Structure 1
Amino acid sequence: MKTLKGYIFWTYERGSLHYDVMVTLILAFIFITPHLWNYGDHPAVANQPPSELLVRTNGGGALIYQVPSDLAHAKDGSVSEAQLVRAIQPVSGPVTIDSYAPLRDASGRITAYKVWAHR
């Protein structure tokens, strides 16, 4: 009982056999239990959904946005600056568009718009 009490209250001197046993048990718990139990702490998936808006800085307060085509297209398939601004405003607030260009995939279909803007 005295030995168990010594383990619970950590009364053994450093370098003793019982101290080394306690440290070994703690390290074994730390390194072995993740393989035995699922703690549910897996990293988030890095893939972004195709409808996410990307924002990068261009220096001097200018920003470059990549707006997916499904966020900016009108019903007839065309796009206007007003539609691009509507897609950008929820993320960045009011912006002024300097220019924009369509981004196409290998088959020539427009997948997104690259928009240069500033606040």
Structure 2
Amino acid sequence: MMRLLRNYIFWTYERGSLHYDIMVTLILAFLFISPHYIDFKDRPQDSPLEPTQTLVQEAGSGYVYTLRPQDIRHDTGDLSGDLLYAVVQYAGPVTMDRYEVVKDAHGKVIRYKVWVHRP
């Protein structure tokens, strides 16, 4: 019995043998079953990460760009011009149809939606 246990511990069985297959099965069983019974303390982060990319969706004959406020220059005083400038940086020459300011429950701007089409 000690010899059998020693051979399992030092992995001395030939590949394809019955004992080798038993060892591999035990390892795979541990890998797939243990997370259900052992708490490894791995949890998602408390706050979701803020998206860092511009979202582009197809809308009919054009596109809808969803931009974060920090992606917009606010130095010209013309919000529609600033939004168009930001979209042109991503999409190239486009014509803006309309835009929408999306605010949270406290009135803070969280994103801009810009509808554009290619001329």
Shorter-chain TM-score category?
0.5 to 0.7
Alpha-carbon spacing, 1:51–1:7, altered in 2? closer, same or farther (3 Å): closer
Contact 2:97 2:116 in 1 (8 A): yes
Aligned mate of 1:26, from 24, 27, 35: 24
Alpha-carbon spacing, 1:31–1:90, altered in 2? closer, same or farther (3 Å): farther
Contact 1:51 1:71 in 2 (8 A): no
- Indicate the SS of the match to 2:25: helix
1:58-105 deviation per Cα after TM superposition (whole angstroms, max 9, x unaligned): 133x21111112222413765133x22332234333322111121112
- Indicate the SS of the match to 1:106: coil
Alpha-carbon spacing, 1:92–1:66, altered in 2? closer, same or farther (3 Å): same
- Indicate the SS of the match to 1:113: strand
Is residue 2:70 matched to residue 1:70? yes
Contact 1:51 1:70 in 2 (8 A): no
**TM-score, length-scaled by structure 1:** 0.58
5+ residue gaps in structure 2?
1-6, 36-41
Aligned to 1:39: none
Taking the TM superposition and a 5 Å limit, the aligned residue runs for 1:1-119 are 7-10=13-16, 12=17, 18=18, 21-33=19-31, 47-49=48-50, 52-60=53-61, 62-75=62-75, 79-81=79-81, 83-119=82-118
- Across the aligned residues of Structure 1 and Structure 2, the Cα RMSD in angstroms comes to 3.4
Aligned residues: 98
Runs of 4+ in 1 over 4 A off after TM superposition: 33-36
Aligned to 2:4: none
Alpha-carbon spacing, 1:9–1:107, altered in 2? closer, same or farther (3 Å): closer
Sequence identity, in percent?
26
**TM-score, length-scaled by structure 2:** 0.58
